[in-house]
Structure 1
Amino acid sequence: MAVDELAASLLYQVTALAGEVAGRMHDGLARLELTGPTANLLWVLDPDAEPQPLRKLAVLLRCDPSNISLLSAQLEERGLAERRPHPRDGRVRTLVLTAEGRNVRELLLAVVARNSPFAHLDDDEQLLLQSLLAKALTER
């Protein structure tokens, strides 16, 4: 297979996979009363890590900071997260999960694991795929 054909095939597979994931997640997200974007934000809010500035969350999710403000407000309205000053720089705003947000995030992760197209891969295969995807996402 030519290099261009291989690259096109890989991109097709990744795009198809993204569509498959979105389809499989739809019902689970609906049960949790989350949209795709709010679920993505909830997902990246690691309750065990230092709170991230809102601007950093925008970079992680590859969106405009104004979108993070809107999504943050939606999570706050549901009582899932709170905007707070950064612990080391009070001028910077962060988003922190509430206890309810931690619970919903755990349910979200369970939905993801249960509906994952990777569930049939064994642990070694999943680790290899994770490593390859991480490399693909960091190489620019």
Structure 2
Amino acid sequence: MILKPGAVGQLRSDLKEYRGNFITKCLLEIMPLVFQRLGQVRRMSWDQVDFEAGVWTCPAQIMKLRRVDKEHEQTPDHVVLLSKQALEILRSLHQVTGPSGFVFKPAAWRSDETRTICENTVNSALRALGVGLH
């Protein structure tokens, strides 16, 4: 767990130095830029990303909400502004996992549009970087 403000900069540096799978590396780098739940980011799909407007429209169905709110047609989607850095990561990843389906596909299943990277993959990568998970 990071408790000191200066440690955040070190974490960002550590994430850039991660030498594991490219897709996992991109997910690790984009997490602090979008500041959303891991489950939402893992389920990001290419049709939700608007490169020109610089936004990711996260549908209510993948947000952490009560079931009744997820299924209610009036529940608004969550619009996340994407920084230049986040867009750069997504553009490089688009060459690997785009143009359709999930953005963060598991490396072994990239041709399967129905699968997304596993939470344990991300947790293992963070442990490898020495980041404590609680």
Report the TM-score range of the alignment, normalised by the length of the smaller protein.
0.3 to 0.5
| TM-score, normalised by the number of residues in structure 2 | 0.39
- Structure (1 or 2) with the greater helix fraction: 1
TM-score (norm 1): 0.38
Bigger relative contact order (CA 8 A; separation at least 6): 2
Structure index of larger Rg? 1
